[in-house]
Structure 1
């Protein structure tokens, strides 16, 4: 894409390079402090713990139990058979290990990992949304400050025009230089309208500065007009290809589809056999009075195989439910695919149109300035009317405001296009910043609590799936 017509506006705020607040600096501040983004990062760490929790099904569980019991009572209500006494205390350690779950744990792990990856893409989506909001807020302030300066310049010019018109009306003069009361009132009306426009511009700027503070976290200082955003593709075809490969929402829906497919297998695996082994070791003896020499060891081991036969159609219902959700996920993938393509094409055209509007707007402003100066000069010689001067001024101010809007809209369209392509990320915009690594958090969650038996048991559990 041909660049770039984003030079400063003809009416700009004064700024020094030492105090300039660039777009990159503003994005870095938002990346470090925006609560929406930081909250989503915390949520991503939370979701990845599901990957660790599901893996616990392949690992042993060990518990310590201690019981004490003393009871004395009759064998019958009539005490005919005497009384009995129960008096014991025991302590034991129990270890349980699932040897085979017919893929139930394996499929739960597949689903959890897919959802953890989906959450990583959700974080990318939030990141791009925060950057889009930050860029929009930055450009809003730039646009509205320039519009405010346009309105101030307009009011100053119209005030001088009212004074000049009033003086000529009061002094009279040659017939070609005379103005009427209508000319005075016309100029005064335009001046009043300029005051209203200036008031509205101040209110709009205040709202934009408030949005800037909310998104970026600091007061806007001397902002500088960016030349453009990095990573813009040379053609719409390449933009579409990049979006299909890296659009955050599309990638999120694909991972969610993988998770729902694993949910179907999780539901199906409930019909299979499960094999568990359990071992118990402890000691038992009288609770009262306590006599340590009377305590003896107890040791037990159990291997159990459970095969479901009938459960009131519960498992079958869960399978049907999982398949319906999988179909929903498939449709969500298609929706995300179509939306990504729509966003790319729409914003590509918006950027192209914006660049054309900037070219035309710059020429229009230049012509408008020349026309206004000429009309003002000719007005002094009686060759132009008050209406001509006011009309030329109105055309110039409209062109300046539209040029400010075109520059704003073009940068925002670039941001939206890059977001749809998956390129509005910290690694693209802030290469020197320390980046949050969602993949590393997932890998750490998957490795926590690893046990030596996990590898062979997980391999056996995955067999056939």
Structure 2
């Protein structure tokens, strides 16, 4: 399937959409195709990536506190003093003057008391938290794709079942009319067949409308209307063997939990930044200035001024502002630290819910499959018994209705089982494109950050200054800990095996 949009997103109205949906193209769309297209074009995911790149810039902005600041200033002053003629003999000055001043200023921080080091650590932790948020959005988008995919397949099966039911009931009505004409049954039997057929036609229209809604949801998430969708591939290669293993993986790699842990590290660094406001700071300043008459501009007559200074700033009293900010940042860090436990419990709850739903759905698949098999036998037997007078028309109609209901239940069970499996993987942190479609070019959220590390403005002496600023703080400013992620798990989504029919025996 082409990864480009195949045209504008048209409304999936069932009156026009069903023909294209049921006409199978040369190659059916697979779930991997849908995930790949959404991974590259979904606007929610694209916006989150842009937001992460914007967040990367905070690292550069924080490191600018260690870098020199260079400025050029220039001023020109013209004055015209209206001194009375009688008083000019008393003042030995000209009535008009014009002067100019130009200065090149250079300021280099040497030690900021840990302020810049804390800001850099907070920015790094925020970026790490943002990467986990990007993982969370990616998992949510993929989960939406999976749900839209299985919704379309379920509702497509529902339309087919309803169509088959209408066809069977139409044939049953024709048989009832024929038997009524020869006097075998009464008008009541015919009316029962007509009633069931009308109800089945109404249910078919509802199923077609629901199918159109699912197609529209698919187009909104994936980026194009669905065609004939292939069977869903197995997710067993990503699922653990039991709930305990799922809990263990989720505690390590769930993006919500990891993002909160990085948020706590960021707020801890901001506590250090608030405390650093009590420490002195040291900077060097150099100025090269020129001044003289602007007109006529004799540059060789301008005076030159070169100054250099080391400035030590020691905060003494801030009216309680610094202490208040320290207490505020400490409490915010307490909130983030406590929220880690709350997030851990929420993750375990979501894993528990999804895992139990998966177990129940798998049990339902077996039960509904057996119910369909038994209902097929019952419906066929009832039709045959009706032909010999052992069953009534109502018995046949009830048997057909039970069969269709069981077929719909079986389709819903398969839908729920697959969606539950994807939800378990999302809670664990494994529902990622690199695991599902490893052949797809993966977006690297770290590449932009690596590029900014030595971007415009970097100076070679900022590295030793950063070490001094970090070590000489009280206490030293820690760097955020980047936790390793889980390695990619193969082989990815594989197409379901093709069942080759056995050759007939001779």
Shorter-normalised TM range? over 0.9
Could you say which residue in structure 1 is the equivalent of 2:230? 224
Could you say which residue in structure 2 is the equivalent of 1:5? none
Residue pair 2:22, 2:227 contacting (<8 A) in 1 also: no
Could you say which residue in structure 2 is the equivalent of 1:235? 242
Could you say which residue in structure 2 is the equivalent of 1:207? 213
Pairing 1:276–2:283 present: yes
Distance 1:446 1:383 in 2: 85
Residue pair 2:67, 2:462 contacting (<8 A) in 1 also: yes
Could you say which residue in structure 1 is the equivalent of 2:170? 159
User: For 1:71-150, what aligned pairs fall within 5 Å after superposition?
Assistant: 71-73=79-81, 82=91, 86-150=97-161
Distance 2:86 2:321 in 1: 49
Could you say which residue in structure 2 is the equivalent of 1:194? 200
Distance 2:65 2:405 in 1: 68
In structure 2, the gaps of 5 or more residues are: 1-20, 477-506
Of 183, 186, 189, the match for 1:183: 189
Structure 1 residues 295 and 16, CA gap change in structure 2 (3 angstroms): same
Residue pair 1:52, 1:447 contacting (<8 A) in 2 also: no
Distance 1:157 1:280 in 2: 95
Greater displacement, 233-242 / 328-337: 328-337
Alpha-carbon distance, 1:322 to partner? 1.0
Alpha-carbon distance, 1:354 to partner? 1.1
Pairing 1:262–2:280 present: no
Distance 1:74 1:107 in 2: 57
Distance 1:384 1:46 in 2: 73
Could you say which residue in structure 2 is the equivalent of 1:316? 323
For normalisation by structure 2, the TM-score amounts to 0.85
Distance 1:76 1:201 in 2: 100
In structure 1, the gaps of 5 or more residues are: 1-12, 173-177
Alpha-carbon distance, 1:281 to partner? 1.3
Structure 1 residues 169 and 54, CA gap change in structure 2 (3 angstroms): same
Could you say which residue in structure 2 is the equivalent of 1:339? 346
Cα deviations by residue, 1:247-293 (Å, 9 ceiling, x for unpaired): 01111111001001111111111111011111011322211221122
Could you say which residue in structure 2 is the equivalent of 1:6? none
Distance 1:78 1:153 in 2: 116
Residue pair 1:54, 1:105 contacting (<8 A) in 2 also: yes
Structure 1 residues 78 and 419, CA gap change in structure 2 (3 angstroms): farther
Of 2, 9, 31, the match for 2:39: 31
Distance 1:136 1:252 in 2: 25
SS at match of 2:288: strand
SS at match of 2:54: helix
SS at match of 1:288: coil
Of 444, 449, 452, the match for 1:437: 444
Distance 1:228 1:170 in 2: 54
**Matched length:** 448
Distance 1:381 1:329 in 2: 76
Could you say which residue in structure 1 is the equivalent of 2:470? 462
Distance 1:423 1:184 in 2: 57
Structure 1 residues 77 and 303, CA gap change in structure 2 (3 angstroms): farther
Cα deviations by residue, 1:382-430 (Å, 9 ceiling, x for unpaired): 1111121111111111111111111111111111111111101111111
CA RMSD of aligned residues (A): 1.9
Of 25, 34, 54, the match for 1:46: 54
Distance 1:434 1:237 in 2: 33
Of 386, 391, 398, the match for 2:405: 398
Distance 2:261 2:375 in 1: 53
